[in-house]
Structure formats: structure tokens, C-alpha cells
Amino acid sequence: MAKVEIYTKAWCGYCARAKALLEGKGVAFEEYDITMGGPKRQEMLDRSNGGTTVPQIFIDGQHIGGSDDLAALDRQGRLDPLLGL
């Protein structure tokens, strides 16, 4: 199965939606909470080419984008292959 990483903030509806989609598929993911900023926030900015919104999602190191991008991949039938499902 693919390595999934997701940068989130507390009380973020888009983050909850993205995590629910992944959980519904039975996919484990590593979550980095950047609510309080810190080094993980800078890491997210570097990895996402300056993306400041959350969530920022990576599958096997590939930047996917946010919640809407994840959902679009799912609708197009392109998410499961990326996840190794």
C-alpha cells in the first residue's frame, strides 16, 4: 500500500473530509498537525511549492493537493491505483 501523508489543522472541515475519504477506503495515513505552525508547517510549504491551505496531501511523495483534488481523483477512478488498492 502507498505511503500517504496529510498536513492538517484542528477544526478544518476540508481536512476531516479528506481523512474520511481515506479512512473509508481503509487507507492508513500519517497526519501532521500544523495548527500551531512549527517545522512541519515549513516542511509542508517546501514540499507543496508554497501551498498554504490545508490539507496538503502526498501519496508516495507525490503532491496530490487538497481535499477537492483528492475527491476529484477518486471520482475519476485514479485514486485507488495511486493508493495501491
Residue 34 is predicted with a pLDDT of 97
Mean pLDDT of 8-34: 98
Residue 42 is predicted with a pLDDT of 96
**Share above pLDDT 70 across residues of the chain, in percent, rounded to a whole number:** 100
Q: How confident is the model at residue 4 (pLDDT cuts 50, 70, 90)?
A: very high
Q: Per the structure block, which three cell numbers stand in for 81? A: 491505483
Cα-only R_g, the chain = 12
Q: What is the pLDDT of residues 40-55, one digit of tens each?
A: 999 999 999 999 999 9
User: Which domain does 12 fall in, by range?
Assistant: 4-83
Residue 1 is predicted with a pLDDT of 87
CATH code: domain of residue 68: 3.40.30.10
Q: How many domains does the chain have?
A: 1
Strands 30-33 and 4-8: parallel
